Amino acid sequence: MLLVLDAGNTNTTVGVFDGPDLVRHWRLMSERHTADELGIYLLNLLATAKIPADAIDGAVLASVVPPLDAALIEGLDRYLGVSCLKVTASLDLGITIGYGTPQEVGADRLVDAVAGVARWGSPLIIVDFGTAITLNVIDEGDVYLGGAIAPGLMTSMEALFGRTAKLPKIGLEAPSSVIGRTTIESIQAGILFGNAGLVDSLVRRIWKELGRKTTVIATGGLASVVASHSETIEAVDPWLTLEGLRLIHERNGACPT
């Protein structure tokens, strides 16, 4: 079985694959821990899922938080006895990176592209709703071009509440109208409909630059919240990144990075 980890600025997503099947997944807070703490944490997660630790025979990590990497990799080795493949632009990804400086592309963006192309082909736009909203553009011939990055929903909300003493904190639920009749409804309309509009505007601008329309898919923890209000997003796959990690491990095995 394969353990996959996507370490983001806010959340770390962990999954277990049995062959091509994602059998368990967890979304955790990204926090700095020692290798021992992380190793015990992972053992406990596996135990709750009734997955024997010795059933894990491989691991792969995509990370945009370098301070977490060494402890995660050491914890996997010490407590699960597996070497961990770390995703970088130098691996065999099965796609071409057309970015100006390939090493600057976030590992999560590359992993999304790998999984997106495998499932939907290219050209393709992948919208990832995380700490940031990233739009990743893959052109014909499976060429990763780059994209756009905007503040994520929770990031925007935290900035708003941090600067305004009188605004109440709210849940991310769509109001019945874009014309909010209460302060809460007004904030919900601005955040949800506003971000859906942001994505649609960027997608249309990308289409114009490419000279054609593409398939548009969404992933990330908040993808389903926004996608239903978008005019361009066609499908949501919340675990796309985990599938990309599996595919990259399949192509590269446990080679050193």
Q: Does residue 66 register a pLDDT over 70?
A: yes
Residues 73 and 110 in one domain: no
Residues 163 and 48 in one domain: no
- At 120-174, the pLDDT tens digits run 999 999 999 988 899 999 999 999 999 999 988 777 777 776 666 555 566 677 7
Closest CA to 137 of 234, 214, 248, 241: 214
State how beta strands 235-236 and 21-29 pair. Answer: unpaired
Rg of the chain, C-alpha, whole Å: 19
**The predicted structure's pLDDT at residue 255:** 54
State how beta strands 143-151 and 96-97 pair. Answer: parallel
Q: Which domain holds residue 71?
A: 2-86
Q: How far apart (Å, rounded) are the C-alpha atoms in residues 253 and 177?
A: 50
Quick check: helix, strand or coil at residue 88?
coil
Residue 57 counted as domain residue: yes
Q: List the alpha helices (DSSP H) in 175-234.
A: 183-188, 194-210, 223-227
pTM of the entire predicted model: 0.89
Q: Does residue 253 register a pLDDT over 80?
A: no
Residues 104 and 200 in one domain: yes
**The predicted structure's pLDDT at residue 162:** 65
- At 218-240, the pLDDT tens digits run 998 889 889 999 999 999 999 99
Residues 149 and 217 in one domain: yes
- At 86-107, the pLDDT tens digits run 999 999 999 999 998 898 999 9
Residue 253 counted as domain residue: no
Exposure letters 185-219 (e unless 16+ CB within 10 A, then b): bbbbbbbbbbbbebbbebbeebbeeeeeebbbbbb
The CATH code of the domain that includes 118 is 3.30.420.40
In which residue are the tokens 């709750």 written? 48
Strand ranges for the chain from DSSP E: 2-7, 11-18, 21-29, 58-63, 84-86, 96-97, 124-129, 132-139, 143-151, 215-219, 235-236
Q: What is the set of active-site residues?
A: 108
The one-letter amino acid code at 85 reads: L
Residue 129 counted as domain residue: yes
Q: Is there a cis peptide before residue 123, judged by omega within 30 degrees of 0?
A: yes
**The predicted structure's pLDDT at residue 237:** 94
Domain boundary among 86, 116, 131: 86
Average pLDDT value over all residues in the chain: 90
* Structure confidence at residue 182 as a pLDDT band (50, 70, 90): confident
